[in-house]
Copies of this chain bind each other. A is one copy, B any other.
Amino acid sequence: MARPQTIEEQELVGRLSRVFRDIGYEGASLAMLAAATGLKKASLYHRFPHGKQQMAEQVLAAALSWYATNILSPLAGQGSPAERIAMVVKNLDAFYASGRQACLLNMLASPHTDNGPFAAAIKRAFEALIKAFMALAREAGHAPAESRARAERAVMLLHGSLVMCRGLRSSKPFRVFLAALPGELLAEPRSSRNRKIAIGHA
Contact = CB atoms under 8 A, between A and B. Distances in A.
Interface size class of A (residues with CB under 8 A): 35 or more
A128 B155 CA distance: 24
Contacts of A168: 123, 126-127
Copies of the chain in the assembly = 2
A184 to B, nearest CB: 10
Given A24-B26, A26-B26, A27-B110, A155 B160 contact: yes
Given A152-B173, A176-B152, A190-B190, A111 B23 contact: yes
Interface in A65-123: 102-103, 105-107, 109-115, 119, 122-123
Interface of A: 22-27, 102-103, 105-107, 109-115, 119, 122-123, 125-127, 146, 149, 152-153, 155-161, 163-164, 166-169, 173, 176-177, 180, 189-193, 195
